[in-house]
């Protein structure tokens, strides 16, 4: 599952990480540049979206988007967690960083 998440992250990095593909947080930083919320809260909003989707699926509701499966949502959550950690670490915002 972690290997799948890594492959998915690489593919999405190509699509979402800025025009040159080397800005891994670009998709999340947009909310701050647009004055919506902080980048950190942008990550949490996206994670909450995924948690809501999981909750809906766990309650027996079949999603209307047929290609979105539980595994896809879990892989996204793994990747959002990794990216949030990397963002916090790169900005010196981790309080528990060894």
In the DSSP assignment, the letter for residue 73 is: H
Where on the phi/psi map is residue 40: left (φ > 0), alpha (ψ -120 to 50), or beta? alpha
pLDDT in the model for residue 1: 93
98 — pLDDT class (breaks 50, 70, 90): low
14 — pLDDT class (breaks 50, 70, 90): confident
- Determine the length of the chain: 98
Q: How many CB atoms lie within 10 A of CB 65?
A: 9
The more confidently predicted of residues 96 and 12 is 12
Mean pLDDT of the chain: 87
């Amino acid at each position: 599952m972690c290997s799948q998440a890594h492959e998915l992250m690489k593919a999405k990095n190509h699509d979402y990480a800025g025009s040159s593909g080397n800005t891994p947080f670009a998709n999340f930083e947009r909310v701050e540049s647009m004055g919506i919320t902080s980048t950190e809260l942008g990550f949490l909003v996206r994670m909450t979206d995924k948690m809501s989707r999981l909750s809906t699926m766990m309650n027996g509701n079949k999603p209307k988007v047929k290609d979105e499966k539980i595994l896809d949502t879990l892989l996204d959550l793994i990747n959002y967690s990794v990216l949030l950690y990397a963002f916090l670490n790169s900005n010196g915002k981790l309080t528990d960083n060894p």
